[in-house]
Chains A and B, each alone.
Chain A
Amino acid sequence: MAATATGIHHRSYESELRLRATRAEYFRLALMGVLLVVLPFVLDNYWLSIANTILIAVIGAVGLNILVGYTGQISLGQGGFLAVGAYTSAILTERYDVPVLFAVVAAVIATAVIGTFFGLPGLRLKGLYLAIATLASQVIIEFVVRRDPGGLLTEGLGYIDVARLNIFGWQVERATFEQQWYLVLAIITVVAVVAARNLFRTGLGRSFMAVRDQDIAAEAIGVNLTRAKLTAFAVSSGYVGLAGALIAHYTEIVSWERFTLDVSITYLAMIIVGGLGSVAGAVYGAIFMSLLPVLIRTAAQQWGDAVPVLKDQLPAVQNALFGAVIIAFLIFEPRGLARLWQRAKDYVRYWPFRY
């Protein structure tokens, strides 16, 4: 591309439908691929475990972004849906000896069904009313897994122990736990992200965006609103259920503390910081918001003696920064990291001109 290119201009439908339009984008893809392959060889177990949690968060964030960023239906029920996925998969593998692969698929389906059910109010409600309705779904699901009526979920223990991952005889070993899990999670995450990216090249994905941008106009051009909204809830919840099931098998224990309202808020923060309505944004956001507490913890260890509040009130400092980051992004760059990256590229491309 010439140095003075003014933007990306498509001249045919084929080029418009392509996932990547410029050579730089291929380069970035290759870079990401190399990074994914190299990571397990250069990181120690601690950082690799963080990479693994990030990969799971990416799946959840991409799923939430399908609903919130692309379809415009806000959901505060993420934590509850994660719980549905985690509990379904854990109970199926532990109590009914279902192979992990099938249990995870069942968890995806179960979460999709429950997510669609709680999406039903979305047919009549918009914006803030929907936010409150999904808040209620979060509270209700959290209550059920916390109270565990009749010991149905955890047999009265309050938590479920999940066996080490074993996919048809391929056993995760203690010594190479993080490396093997990295392999599994990297493959699943790449598939999930590519699938999400492709979803928005199809008619279905475009109908989601039409609903977000102007629902009445969307209906006028023949988008079935009911179907589009419910499908969005189903697809999004399916992703979230997958993330929940992976959390269950990766952490090998399922208990309600992992699925509170704070989790829902963290995921919303991810997609807002990353960029609403952008798959890459969800990925950036998940990485950023997962690394933030780690960095704060490291900083606290480094300078804890000089700034005692860092060490004494670590959770509070973390939460304060979380809140401040959310507010700052919404006020200064509502379209998130994805847009910042775009602007940085434009700045370099047009330099020395401002625009």
Chain B
Amino acid sequence: MSTFLNLLAYGLADGAILALAALGFVLIYKATGVINFAQGEFLLIGAYLMYTAWVVMGLPMVVSVLVGIVAATVVGVLVERLILRPMVGEDPISIIMVTIGLAMLLKAVVQMFYGTNPRSQPAILPTGSVSFLGATLPVNRLLVVVIAAVVLTAFTLFFSRSKHGIAMRAVADDQQAAMTMGISVRKIFALSWALAAVSAFIAGVLLADLSAVDQNIASFGLMVFPVVILGGLDSVPGTIVGGLTIGLLTQFVSGYLDPGLATVIPYVVLVLILLVKPYGLFGETRIERV
């Protein structure tokens, strides 16, 4: 029972971070139709931005979070403006490749500044543990779940209530109709990249706090694909369900069966879903002859 509860806590924490990472991915896909292979690198950039502001520059923690968010926004907007906008209307292969190139570039830039050795950063979240039903559960992982829940709720509210959020949904739904209603599609594109970068920043900082500030954060980004395929590429609730499912699945497989198998099991799930239900659990089904 205690193993089960432990794995549950670890899985939920992983799943919560995955959901945040996947949220950024889905935002970009929904609004701009771009498959972003650089999502993991956005997490990486986020973690290192926080490290730079907090540890290297010695700013207070709250200020460095704010600085990080602003910097992440700038990175997101710049990427959209300089790299993705010239690619509008190109075929999917080119767009996928440009984000792969971007991923290599971002990762290499981080490596040029900070090398490959892990950097030590003081813990952001309290590291103690609580006893619950005979299991000792790490506090920071529970807090990660709470933070992710708050952020995801905030994003959901943003989409359903705020003017910009509704404009983003309108663009995702039908770009031309949105344009005729006076929505600037360009601004919405930039906004979605900025929001994706911010959600990736939060995910990256949380992940770095749980593990370490190093290059492995980027490889976490590849796990976004099983999550979004499971939840549906264009579904925000899908990211939560998908993230939690994949997070729990990997933790349970690694706890009860084999840690090595846990790295590949999400992709097996991915292939199965693609074969059975390619649009995922909550994705919009598009009828298309292939």
Q: In the bound complex, how far is the Cα of B97 from the Cα of A268, in angstroms?
A: 8
- What's the tally of chain A residues with a CB closer than 8 Å to chain B? 46
Contacts of B177 in A (CB 8 A): none
Q: In the bound complex, how far is the Cα of B225 from the Cα of A320, in angstroms?
A: 24
Contacts of B104 in A (CB 8 A): 265, 319-320, 322-323, 326
B83, CB-defined interface residue at 8 Å: yes
Indicate whether A136 sits within 8 Å of B270 (C-beta atoms), given known contacts A147-B260, A323-B103: yes
Q: In the bound complex, how far is the Cα of B289 from the Cα of A318, in angstroms?
A: 41
Chain A interface, DSSP helix/strand/loop, else mixed: helix
Q: Are A136 and B267 in contact (CB under 8 A)?
A: yes
Contacts of A186 in B (CB 8 A): none
Contacts of B274 in A (CB 8 A): 121, 124-125, 129, 132-133, 136
Indicate whether A123 sits within 8 Å of B101 (C-beta atoms), given known contacts A128-B92, A136-B270, A313-B111: no
B142, CB-defined interface residue at 8 Å: no
Contacts of A126 in B (CB 8 A): 92, 288, 290
Q: Are B271 and A121 in contact (CB under 8 A)?
A: yes
Q: In the bound complex, how far is the Cα of B278 from the Cα of A215, in angstroms?
A: 19
Q: Are B101 and A327 in contact (CB under 8 A)?
A: yes
A216, CB-defined interface residue at 8 Å: yes
Q: Are B112 and A309 in contact (CB under 8 A)?
A: yes
- Contact residues, B62-121 vs A (CB, 8 A): 83, 86-87, 90-94, 96-98, 100-109, 111-112, 115
Indicate whether A265 sits within 8 Å of B93 (C-beta atoms), given known contacts A121-B271, A124-B290: no
A156, CB-defined interface residue at 8 Å: no
B229, CB-defined interface residue at 8 Å: yes
Contacts of B111 in A (CB 8 A): 313, 315-316, 319
B101 is contacted by which of A261, A269, A316 (Cβ under 8 Å)?
Answer: A269
Return the chain A residue nearest B111 by Cβ.
A316
Q: Mark A68-98, 1 if CB is under 8 A from B, else 0.
A: 1000101000000000000000000000000
A272, CB-defined interface residue at 8 Å: yes
A74 is contacted by which of B96, B275, B288 (Cβ under 8 Å)?
Answer: B96
B268, CB-defined interface residue at 8 Å: yes
Q: Are A132 and B270 in contact (CB under 8 A)?
A: yes
B150, CB-defined interface residue at 8 Å: no
Return the chain A residue nearest B275 by Cβ.
A121
Q: Are B260 and A127 in contact (CB under 8 A)?
A: no
Contacts of A136 in B (CB 8 A): 225, 267-268, 270-271, 274
Show the binding face of A for B, using Cβ within 8 Å. 68, 72, 74, 121, 123-129, 131-133, 135-137, 139-140, 143, 147, 215-216, 261, 265, 268-269, 272, 276, 309, 313, 315-320, 322-327, 330-331, 334
19 contacts between A and B (CB under 8 A): A74-B92, A124-B275, A124-B290, A131-B35, A133-B271, A136-B225, A139-B264, A140-B264, A143-B264, A215-B290, A320-B104, A320-B108, A323-B103, A323-B104, A323-B105, A327-B101, A327-B105, A330-B90, A331-B98
Supply 12 further A-B pairs (C-beta < 8 A) apart from A121-B271, A125-B274, A323-B104.
Answer: A128-B96, A129-B274, A131-B96, A143-B264, A215-B290, A216-B289, A313-B112, A316-B112, A319-B111, A323-B106, A323-B108, A330-B94
The 8 closest A-B pairs by CB, nearest first: A326-B101, A323-B105, A323-B104, A320-B108, A127-B92, A319-B108, A316-B111, A143-B264
